[in-house]
Amino acid sequence: MTVTKRDLVVRISEKTNLSQHEVQEVIEQLMLEITENLSVGSEVVFRNFGTFKTAVHQPKVGRNPLKPEVEITIPARKVVRFRPGKILKERVQEELGV
């Protein structure tokens, strides 16, 4: 099952008695703040939920499977990592029956 941003807005709106517009604005601002902080290299930590941070993939040499004799340089790039917190990990394990 996939949960969309719209689904979250509706659920949170029902639980908090805030309008869907207000909830959507808060979610949008949260996403903008997370994005802005990650783009400048800061970590974003939600205690017991998880941590978002960036990592750098070093450049490497790749090959085209159709032309293995041709080497391609894959440039360095930043990626976003998420490390789940203790409570999130435990909750997911409960749901899976592990």
Domain ranges of the chain: 5-96
* CB 12 within 8 Å of CB 24: no
* CB 27 within 8 Å of CB 7: no
Q: What is the pLDDT of residues 57-67, one digit of tens each?
A: 999 999 888 88
- Architecture in CATH of 5-96: Irregular (4.10)
Higher pLDDT, 65 or 44: 44
Write down the pLDDT at residue 98. Answer: 62
Write down the pLDDT at residue 7. Answer: 97
**Kind of pairing between the strands at 50-57 and 77-84:** antiparallel
- Model pTM? 0.78
Quote the tokens at residue 11.
């659920």
